Structure 1
Amino acid sequence: MTEYFAFSKIDSALDKTKAVLWPFNLGIWLRLALISLFAGGITAINPFQFTGGSSDMSDFNTVMPAMGGFPDLTVVLLIILALVILFLIFGYLSSVFQFIFVDCLRTKEFRIRQYFSERVGKGARLFGFDLAVSLILILLVAVAMIALIAGFMGAGGGAMNIMFFFTMMLAIIIIAIPVALLFMLTIDFVVPIMIAKDCGVIEGWKECWNVMKRGWLQVIIYIIMKFILSVVIMIIMVIIAVIAAIIIGVPFLLAFIATIGLSSGALLSPLAVILLIAYIIILIPVVLIISVPFVTYIRMYSLEVLGAMAPEYSMTDYPDEIIAATDHSEE
């Protein structure tokens, strides 16, 4: 009977995740929390998300002339440029940390600075590959959107426009799904192959393609199982994170209620803003630490499946006594 590694490696990935994370070591968990911030996996928390405050720009426009003033268009372009630069920096760091994550799980030595210096080149190659694929995706979506706009500007009636709209949305989804799978398989399989073979992304993908051709059914089942596991793990992690957020928030809420009385009923007093900032500063690292076992497990799972499909690329061949000691510690 054929063994499907997407099923058989669920338990072994759990055992090896426990071997990495237990006995509890705060330093290791903090390092993995930092890795999860950048490498992310299913729990990526993007620190570069910018949300606008008030839509009223009158105060901004009155302040800027006093500072020397910029034309409105220049300000917008500068903001866009700054966001693009931050996005590129974070994207590059994320690519490097994908290799650091595998290195840490492969060696069980969490030397982030050492691995970072060793993986800057491979990270740059991975980032360039991701950027090129992203640009192609943007171009394809742009073409679809232009066709959509052209369709709306046509002479067709309302029913035709609606049908055309849904057709274009379907086309965009059809384009996006293969690209999403490409990104996933690049991180899950190509990155470890690049480490094992000390090669670039293209050569890594060629070897990955050979591996997948030998076990295409294994890959299909893996994709389905990883999606299911990711959804289940995400739900569990979110529930735990919400509980932690509520527990941490109780003293801040009580302090906030007290500030309302001190500020004559004003909800947004300076003290309340300070409390909110302090709450966020405490909550973010807590959520990152909560994410550690979940991110580690899902990454270990992909490494285990790859190692079963192609033993020459196995990254998690830990000595049996290490796993046995971890299991024994729970008895």
Structure 2
Amino acid sequence: MTATDPFQGMGAGIHAFKAFDSAFERTRSLLWPFNWGVWLRLAVFVLCIGGFGGLSLNLISLPNPEDLANAGIASSFGHLAYIGIFLAILLIIRVIGAVFHFVLVDGLTVGPVTLFWTFDVRVRKGLRLFLFEVLLGGALLGVGALTLGLYDVSLSLETIPELFAASPPFLIAAFLLWFVMVVTIDLVVPVMITDDCGVLAGWRTVLGLGAADPGNTSAYLLTRTLLAVAADLIVTVLVLAATLFSFHITFYIEFFAIPLAFLAAGLIQAPFLAFFRYYGLLVLGSFSPERALLPSRQSSESAHGVEDAEALLVPQVR
């Protein structure tokens, strides 16, 4: 890159705008013609990752003692055992979700989109990402704890919405941490693949790329925020409608309605998940062409077998 051409090696134009159409077309090619296998696998990715972007903490409310008592679990030991099992399952899902971030990139860049094809070689990087998420989540809860002296709100999963409403510092911290996780998933995860590095090293690389091109960096941050807000609003409305419909057609029988609602939520978010992953990969490729993973991906019209895909993926798997 020279002083007379600040965009040399990064691509001319606004990366955030250029990537939009290409990400949309790649998403359409992936999901259409309709293939139940691809859609269902993406739905599993969504449910394990915790959504299609952002700080995926999977804030599922813990059962309260009254609910446990109604279910026949009345002792304190029973409460602890039940909650321990609940948290263990949630922990396993979160670890799997962290690894899935890398497996999904492999599927979208080389293919095919599968759940466990490269899972074993991505476990180490997934654990690093999981620990990073834990640190971010802990930092957010720490900010919440610091605000308890100013606001009459107890700190628990159920009262986090109250903290959002009552505490501007908590709201600001939550937004900043959410955005850190968005950039981590969009840009740092593929950098960790191409550079075979950890989360912090990937962040140093991304910060260096952003500092070298502040105009495109600002455009990406603004565009990504607006896209996330719009997508969240659309998905929230669709998921609520699908949930109500699921309970309606199953006559409010939870045994059938809840799994159906989860499946519907995953399928609704599947296109958004694919779009945002493609979008992040394209933006990174514009900032740093040597780290562009998508050009190596074969066109969606020319499918190849798992053996061919494995051969293409070998240089990327560390």
Query: In which range does the TM-score fall when normalised by the shorter chain?
Result: 0.7 to 0.9
TM-score, normalisation: structure 2: 0.74
Consecutive unaligned residues of structure 2, counting only runs of 5 or more, are 1-6, 153-162, 304-318
**Does 2:111 correspond to 1:108?**
yes
With 131-140 and 50-59 compared, the bigger mean Cα shift is at: 50-59
With 46-55 and 129-138 compared, the bigger mean Cα shift is at: 46-55
The count of residues paired between Structure 1 and Structure 2 equals 281
Distance 1:56 1:17, change over 3 A: closer
Larger radius of gyration: 1
Q: Please tell me the residue identity of whatever aligns with 1:6.
A: A
**Does 2:28 correspond to 1:30?**
no
Comparing both structures, which one devotes a greater share of its residues to helix?
Answer: 1
Distance 1:208 1:246, change over 3 A: same
- The 3-state SS of whatever aligns with 1:112 is coil
In the alignment, which residue of structure 1 is the partner of 2:29? 19
1:96 to partner: Cα distance = 0.6
In the alignment, which residue of structure 2 is the partner of 1:217? 215
Distance 1:320 1:85, change over 3 A: closer
Distance 1:293 1:44, change over 3 A: farther
- The 3-state SS of whatever aligns with 2:202 is helix
Identity %: 27
Q: Please tell me the residue identity of whatever aligns with 1:91.
A: R
Write the distance in 1 (CA, Å) between the matches of 2:249 and 2:70. Answer: 34
Q: Is the 8 A contact 1:42 1:234 kept in 2?
A: no
1:189 to partner: Cα distance = 0.8
1:106 to partner: Cα distance = 0.9
Q: Please tell me the residue identity of whatever aligns with 2:130.
A: F
Consecutive unaligned residues of structure 1, counting only runs of 5 or more, are 151-164, 254-271, 326-331
- The 3-state SS of whatever aligns with 1:138 is helix
Q: Please tell me the residue identity of whatever aligns with 1:121.
A: R
Q: Please tell me the residue identity of whatever aligns with 2:168.
A: L
Write the distance in 1 (CA, Å) between the matches of 2:60 and 2:67. Answer: 20
In the alignment, which residue of structure 2 is the partner of 1:156? none
Write the distance in 2 (CA, Å) between the matches of 1:44 and 1:177. Answer: 9
Distance 1:172 1:236, change over 3 A: closer
In the alignment, which residue of structure 2 is the partner of 1:171? 169
With 87-96 and 101-110 compared, the bigger mean Cα shift is at: 87-96
Write the distance in 1 (CA, Å) between the matches of 2:133 and 2:171. Answer: 19
1:200 to partner: Cα distance = 1.3
In the alignment, which residue of structure 1 is the partner of 2:265? 287
Distance 1:46 1:172, change over 3 A: closer
Write the distance in 2 (CA, Å) between the matches of 1:87 and 1:300. Answer: 27
Q: Is the 8 A contact 1:41 1:295 kept in 2?
A: yes
CA RMSD of aligned residues (A): 3.6
With 7-16 and 236-245 compared, the bigger mean Cα shift is at: 236-245
With 226-235 and 99-108 compared, the bigger mean Cα shift is at: 226-235
